[in-house]
Structure 1
């Protein structure tokens, strides 16, 4: 993948409507997996909770949303990756969990084979969560949006990533701050007072298409009153009073 190809990929992303963030992220991950010989990719939105204690080695960070390019059987959707996150939330600290803590708040890359000791690859944790599905190495690119919110892309390979591949991934993800912001907005992780529920995220995507509430209700198979409750909750969490104000958050997302 050349620099020009990466720039065309950025152009592709800008052609997706704001309601198509899931599809846009999948398009980006598929392109970068192909360019780096990775078999799978993930995106995760991370937030830092205000009530973190000084004894927390993960500094209050939680993963508020995750999207995988390819589901891993037998887990539906992102179940395999969410299993790892449940261990994270229980604070059962694995050495791999400490990698993203290095340089928090800065743009950075981190990877398994470059930064974890050889004995980690003989651990039960690696065998269960990575080796069992064919992951030999993983590399991550972290983009901070503010002190308490970061966007992380992960790529998984059956071999060790080269320095050139890691540099390519970093370059491709460094120049699209607007897109990282859009992904985090879509999950309610950047401006919302409370992260959106999975149903609210689905309703939000429909709201951004300008679909009326009755159409949202039909699409989701729920009562119109229930759809209205979800819309009201979304507005409250984002601190807006109308769909126009909600849309403006995306329209003003440049930079």
Structure 2
């Protein structure tokens, strides 16, 4: 009976359609796929903006670090208007200061592999009278959020925030359940996103030039075609290819491609 209800639930149908759409993007279109996901979330949840980020745990955090070593490595905002971009940068800068906000501390705490939190359930009432809420929510047009945290391994997490403005109703428990259901089905997607940046598997992050070569390799281009596409010499392209193989711990393109299918650790 549950399957029969799910098959006609318009909310679930919308989620299934989004999963199918994301699966149609090629590896080389990973950035466009992420934009598509964030745009779809904004529409589905009547949101003002959406933020996606990857957190890494530093190998030797200070003993008194309230964030337990966790720091952002990649951040993507769907609509990075100047006020929002400045707010994100300000929050990023304070993570290395002694003025870490309670919301940031709570977001890093715990070891659950998957977690969904409603802002007004996660934080005490007095927090909403404080500077952080005013500066990083109200002053940039936000009033509420749902956050999702997904652990891809012990030292790497995905964080997603969906924001609403004051004119929209607060997020409900049903909204949280729906977003959680949607995001649980996308661990493969986040894995591919981080692989394309040289995180998760690579021994060192990729440079921007290496990332462009990597995406072309995964799209099936030869080194000569990559050199022509990126307007660089064949020797430069070959150097980048060798560096990519070294960072990912593979010897050839088939082994590199296998990482995207989850066949290699």
Match of 1:32 among 41, 44, 68: 41
Q: 1:94 to 1:211 in 2, by over 3 A?
A: same
Unaligned runs of 5+ in 2: 1-9
RMSD (Å) for aligned C-alpha atoms: 2.5
For the 8 Å contact 1:40–1:155, the answer to whether it is kept is yes
Cα distance, 1:113 vs. partner? 2.3
Partner residue of 1:88?
A: 95
Partner residue of 1:12?
A: 21
Q: Secondary structure at the match of 1:2?
A: helix
Q: Secondary structure at the match of 2:66?
A: coil
User: CA offsets per residue over residues 82-140 of structure 1, 9 Å max, x none?
Assistant: 44223224464111211222333420012332222333333333333332220111211
Partner residue of 1:137?
A: 144
Q: Secondary structure at the match of 1:204?
A: helix
Matched, 1:101 2:108: yes
Cα distance, 1:197 vs. partner? 3.4
Unaligned runs of 5+ in 1: none
Q: Provide the C-alpha distance between the structure 1 equivalents of 2:194 and 2:263, rounded to a whole number of angstroms.
A: 11
Q: Secondary structure at the match of 2:82?
A: coil
Q: Provide the C-alpha distance between the structure 1 equivalents of 2:148 and 2:172, rounded to a whole number of angstroms.
A: 14
Q: Provide the C-alpha distance between the structure 2 equivalents of 1:62 and 1:195, rounded to a whole number of angstroms.
A: 15
Runs of 4+ in 1 over 6 A off after TM superposition: none
User: CA offsets per residue over residues 12-61 of structure 1, 9 Å max, x none?
Assistant: 11111122221112212211221111111121111112222432211111
Matched, 1:176 2:183: no
TM-score, structure 2 normalization: 0.83
Match of 2:133 among 126, 130, 149: 126
For the 8 Å contact 1:46–1:151, the answer to whether it is kept is yes
Partner residue of 2:156?
A: 149
Match of 1:23 among 32, 37, 61: 32
Partner residue of 1:69?
A: 78
